[in-house]
Homo-oligomer: A and B are copies of this chain.
Amino acid sequence: MNLKKLEFEKLIEQISTLYREKKYSQLKSILADINPTDIAVLFDEFPNEQRILLFRLLPKEEAAETFVELDGETQEALIHAFSDTELREVIDELYLDDTVDIIEEMPATIVKRILRNTDAQTRKSINTLLKYPEDSAGSIMTPEFVDLKKDNTVEDAFKRIRRTGVDKETIYTCYVTDSSRHLIGVTTVKELLLHDYGDKIEEFMETNTIFVNTHDDKEIAANFLDKYNFLALPVVDMENRLVGIITVDDAIDVLQEENTEDIQKMHAIMPNEKPYLKTGIFETWKSRITWLLFLMISATFTSMILNAFEDKLSALIVLTSFVPMLTGTSGNSGGQASAVIIRALSLKEIDFKDIFKVIWKEFRVGVLCGITLAAVNFVKIWFVDRTLLGMSAITIQVDLVISLTLIIEIIFAKMVGCVFPILAKKMKLDPAVISSPFITTVMDALSLLIYFWLATMILHI
């Protein structure tokens, strides 16, 4: 069922009515027909007691799938209401990586209850997964994968999948390991289906396997899944033993998270993983205030520059009128360059060795943009600001100072905008911390210096 907004509201209506009238078997059959992801969204619209009852009406597997999609608060409330048996049933149906994600967000008492309700083997796996550093490939992998031996036949493989597959997050990529669990090959169910029952795995498995290490950044893993179009990526430990896999749905989540983080950093916000409406006021304030403070205080330089040229400004006060336009334009030009470069770096389209190519390109783009804007501006100031708006203090020399400033500042802005992120990356900093607001602040000061230097030279003030 594709839930459009209207259908969604009708469905909530319908469920509420059935709930009030205690028509549980009808409720049950309606819920069974909705995708778990949509049920999780629906649940947001109901109070806690109702949610628990609705949850209990879900078929076992669907219940677990819905549980994973709920937010931390709702999960916590549900666990509080669960009997130990119910909790065990849900946990049993979950994939291990999802269990670990949930555990990481729960308070200690609930974590203890979850661990008490899992068998020793699962508990051990959970504890191993919990130990991987945050943001590492190990922290998002699942140890549940199909492993085969190279002398298995296709028939053996299918038997193994039929026997153990129900608990695996994906069965479509199968990993071939040797007796010490080293990864020696990969095959897929598609390959298995296209070969004869008697064929041995080693005859057709791929041996040029691509993998990551448990301690690699999860972003590297996600990029590999994207780049190589994999459904799952194997993860090996320090001794090169296969310990888990990362599935493509988790890779998409990582990529989307990284994109959100990049956008936040590029706009002078400290990254925050929570959805907008679930973030508190103080948390939001905290993520935004640091950079605002830093940038505000950095603006002391522009104040100092303007103060130093106070005499010249009083001599020709019309110069002041164009300060916001000049600083604005240089900030925008630099922001464009830095955004494009930060994105290209994060998509791995460029790296440090391209720095001169990039500078040369941005220089030429800067010259083109500078000349275009200066030409338009020169004409506009003369006919709009001077003639139409009657700023009689504008002479042809003043117009020239403003337009020349534009050309020079834009070229500088493009240079600063492209070089800073590449250097940041080289210094192992996140290039996205070179936000547009930061470039803007640097360019504000630089633009004013260019402006007053040209004013002094051309207007002799």
Contacts and interface: CB of A to CB of B under 8 A. Distances in A.
Interface of A: 1-2, 33-35, 37, 158, 161-162, 165-166, 171-172, 189-190, 193-194, 207-208, 210-212, 225-229, 231, 248-249, 251-253, 255-256, 259-260, 262-264, 266-269, 275-277, 281-282, 284-285, 288-289, 291-293, 295-297, 299-300, 302-304, 306-307, 310, 313-314, 317-318, 320-325, 327-329, 331-333, 335-336, 338-344, 347, 349-350, 354, 357-358, 361, 364-365, 368-369, 372-373, 376-377, 380, 384-385, 389, 391, 406, 436-437, 440-441, 444, 448
19 contacts: A35-B208, A251-B252, A252-B255, A255-B255, A268-B336, A281-B361, A288-B333, A289-B368, A292-B329, A299-B324, A300-B325, A302-B324, A302-B328, A303-B389, A303-B391, A307-B318, A324-B324, A324-B327, A331-B440
Contact of A190 (B171, B249, B376): B171
Given A193-B162, A389-B304, A444 B328 contact: yes
A301 to B, nearest CB: 9
Q: How many copies does the complex hold?
A: 2
Given A313-B320, A331-B437, 19 more contacts: A33-B208, A172-B231, A226-B256, A231-B231, A248-B248, A255-B255, A255-B256, A266-B267, A268-B332, A275-B344, A281-B365, A288-B333, A289-B369, A291-B332, A293-B376, A306-B320, A324-B327, A324-B448, A331-B331
A219 B357 CA distance: 33
